[in-house]
Structures are given as C-alpha cells and as structure tokens.
Amino acid sequence: MSMKEKFKMNAIIKKNTEDSIAGIIKYSNDDKRIDMARKFLGIGENKLRIEIMENYITLLKSKKIKYNII
C-alpha cells in the first residue's frame, strides 16, 4: 500500500469514527441500546467499567435468545 493510499484510508477511518461517535451522542437519549453502548465506550457521563460490559455480554450469550439488532 502506498503512503497516499494509507493516508487516504486513515482519513476515511477517522471520518467514520467521528461520525459514529457523533451519532451515538445524538441518539443516546432516544434509544436505551445506544445509550448503553455510549456508556460502555466511555463517552460522556455515567461511564461503565469494561468489566460490566464483559459480564453483560456473557449474560446475553448465556440466555440463548435471538436478539434483533436494528
């Protein structure tokens, strides 16, 4: 990969990351799932420790329930 391609890819990744964080902040008040993701990512107030996320995911996996992710 050339330097030009690498820097272009880095710029695209940075832009998509910024857009994702902005979307999480914008919609976290409207959707509890997005708000939970925001807390796990440590964005804004009421952050959750990574251990809580790990336990949450383990609990979801053990339930054997199909979750609809929209």
Structural domain spans, the chain:
3-63
Say whether pLDDT at 70 is over 60: no
Say whether pLDDT at 9 is over 90: no
Cβ within 8 Å of residue 28, ≥6 positions away: 34, 35, 37, 38, 44
Q: To which residue do tokens 């272009």 refer? A: 8
- Cβ atoms of 21 and 5 within 8 Å: the answer is no
Say whether pLDDT at 7 is over 90: no
Q: Could you tell me the two tokens for 28?
A: 């976290």
Beta strands in 1-70 (DSSP E): none
12-47 pLDDT, tens digit each: 999 999 999 999 999 999 999 899 889 988 998 888
CA atoms in the 13 A half-sphere facing the CB of 6: 3
